[in-house]
Amino acid sequence: MKNILVLHTGGTISMQEDTQSGAVAPSLDHPLMDFTEAFKNLAYITTKQPFHLPSPHIRPAEMLTLKNLIEAECKQQSFNGVVITHGTDTLEETAYFLDLTLNIHIPIVITGAMRSSNEIGSDGLYNFISAVRVACCNEAKDKGVLVVLNDEIHAAKNVTKTHASNVSTFQSPQFGPIGLVTKREILFHYKPLYREKYDIEQISKRVALLKAYAGMEADVLDAIDDKKYDGVVIEALGQGNLPPCCLPGLKRLRKANIPIIVVSRCFKGVAQDVYDYQGGGKQLKEMGVIFSNGLNGQKARIKLLIALTKTTNQNKLSQIFQDPVCENEN
């Protein structure tokens, strides 16, 4: 029998649909708060509810609360795994935040639901049971924070919500799931090669996230400096290019020592300093723009928020945003 800590935070998995209007809203009592029946031969469940929020209400402050709570609970009691239920809209951001900041070797599993608890075809209970099963699995250790929904196990770094309402919304573009949940087994077929951890005690910086578009102008970037943001992530075009009208705004941000992280707005691929023209990636890198290796915009923002608690040095930030590469490429 395993000892599993369950943290309920809210989200669709805790909500109910109004049978008359069809509106979905938080229920007074979490429907899974006292659910232990399916685990009587698998695990002892300790349940806590640190907050009860729809996921659009989750901020980095709540993510830090979860991180601190998990560490405190694991110091007080010997747990074999942790399961977090969470709304799906920002689930991937909380998962990646915890992946970067928790230095715990037991399985940490996050799950949610696309349909509320009383809807036909509700997926919450099934996903919850699957998540607890994964948290009880010895092979789930040391694989980073895992996201488990719809019979699939995904790495926090790669997973993203791809559909507004479909139950198979969580996918890992280019990489796929790292494991599967079957009726009888938990099957892992690979593990992430690289892990990084940052010991943080507070989140106080402000980082904006912008999406590039045809004809984007510099005044959008000027607002980042005017409003005293500490950093900005830009989902750039293609492999990491921006319209030339943006250049004055980028120069202003760099003059103010505001770090600029560039990712691709494309669903797949990575941003690189390839194109050599006005606004092209090569020119952006020469200006001091930092290219992130494969993260999407929302996760690059989470990483920059965390990185800025450790350093504001441009060179160090650049190193933080680059994954290790094969030795023969250097």
Each residue's pLDDT tens digit, 66-122: 999 999 999 999 999 999 999 999 999 999 999 999 999 999 999 999 999 888 899
Q: Sorting pLDDT into bands at 50, 70 and 90, what band is 18?
A: confident
Q: Would you call 289 helix, strand, or coil by DSSP?
A: coil
Residues in the chain: 330
**Taking CA 114 as the corner, what is the angle to CA 111 and CA 115, rounded to the nearest 5 degrees?**
120
Q: Sorting pLDDT into bands at 50, 70 and 90, what band is 29?
A: confident
Residue 232, pLDDT score: 98
What's the mean pLDDT when you consider all of the chain?
A: 94
pLDDT above 80 for 19: no
CA distance 237 to 264: 6
Token duo for residue 199: 């010991």
Token duo for residue 24: 């979905």
What's the chain's Rg over C-alpha atoms? 21
pLDDT above 60 for 329: no
Mean pLDDT for 10-16 is 93
Query: Which DSSP helix (H) or strand (E) runs through 326?
Result: none
CA distance 52 to 55: 9
Mean pLDDT for 185-194 is 91
- At what angle are helices 91-101 and 60-76 packed, to 10 degrees? 50
pLDDT above 70 for 330: no
Q: Residues 221, 253: contact at Cβ < 8 Å?
A: yes
Please enumerate in sequence order all residues whose Cβ is within 8 A of that of 116, keeping only pairs 6 or more positions apart, or say none.
12, 13, 15, 16, 17, 24, 122, 124
pLDDT above 70 for 181: yes
CB count in 10 Å sphere of residue 187: 14
Residue 192, pLDDT score: 86
Residue 152, pLDDT score: 98
Using a cut of 0.85, tell me whether the model's pTM lies above it.
yes
Q: Phi/psi of residue 202, each to 5°? A: -155, 160
CA distance 112 to 127: 7
Residue 327, pLDDT score: 55
Q: Sorting pLDDT into bands at 50, 70 and 90, what band is 326?
A: low
Q: Sorting pLDDT into bands at 50, 70 and 90, what band is 325?
A: low
Token duo for residue 209: 């996230």
Share of the chain above pLDDT 90, in %: 85
Q: Sorting pLDDT into bands at 50, 70 and 90, what band is 328?
A: low
**Taking CA 299 as the corner, what is the angle to CA 293 and CA 300, rounded to the nearest 5 degrees?**
50
Token duo for residue 256: 């103010």
At 195, the amino acid letter reads R
Q: Sheet containing 231-236: which strands, arranged edge to edge?
A: 207-211, 231-236, 260-264, 290-291
Whether residue 12 lies in the annotated active site: yes
- Chain-centroid distance, C-alpha 283: 30
pLDDT digits (tens, 9 = 90+) for 42-75: 999 999 999 999 999 999 999 999 999 999 999 9
Q: Phi/psi of residue 104, each to 5°? A: -130, 140
DSSP 241: B
pLDDT above 80 for 282: yes
pLDDT digits (tens, 9 = 90+) for 191-208: 888 889 999 999 999 999
At 285, the amino acid letter reads K
Residue 324, pLDDT score: 64
Given the structure tokens 């504001």, which residue do they identify? 312
Q: Sorting pLDDT into bands at 50, 70 and 90, what band is 22?
A: confident
Token duo for residue 296: 């999407």
Query: Which candidate in 12, 85, 101, 111 is catalytic?
Result: 12
Q: Residues 146, 154: contact at Cβ < 8 Å?
A: yes
